[in-house]
Structure 1
């Protein structure tokens, strides 16, 4: 996090029951944070985890080799690919 002060213009409101609020307050207390700080940092960490899980691709060693080999030595274009490329070039003129 940068040392500069950032303006906080956006707001997120959450409705919750008394029990949920008490749990959040208790957890925030253990982390020496306000409830808002605790909820924000925890939610952001979980959001980043979910994004990584859904946007990152993990390959086994064998799959990585196949992928790398395909990138390093791609096959020659076949007739369908040449036809598609010609169609693309014509459309972009």
Structure 2
């Protein structure tokens, strides 16, 4: 999370029961934060984790080698690729 102080003009409202609020308050107290601070920092950390899991590509060492080799030594374009590229160029004019 950014350490730069920014104006906070967005709001998120959450409805919860008393038990859930008590749990959040207890956890926030252990972190010496307000419930809002605790919920925001925890939710942002989880959001960043979910984004990384869904947007980052991970490969085994063997898969990385195949991928890297394909990038550095791509095969020559075949007839279908040349045809598709010509069609793209024509449509981009």
Partner of 1:47: 47
What CA RMSD, in Å, does the superposition of the two structures yield over aligned residues?
Answer: 0.8
SS of residue paired to 2:40: helix
How many residues align? The count is 92
Task: Tell me which of the two structures has the higher relative contact order, counting C-alpha pairs closer than 8 angstroms and 6 or more residues apart.
Answer: 2
CA distance in 1, matches of 2:45, 2:66: 33
Structure 1 consecutive aligned stretches of length 4 or more whose deviation exceeds 6 Å: none
**Structure 2 unaligned blocks of 5 or more:** none
1:82 Cα shift? 0.3
Give me the TM-score of the superposition, normalised by structure 1: 0.96
Task: Compute the TM-score of the two structures, normalised by the length of structure 2.
Answer: 0.96
Structure 1 unaligned runs (5+)? none
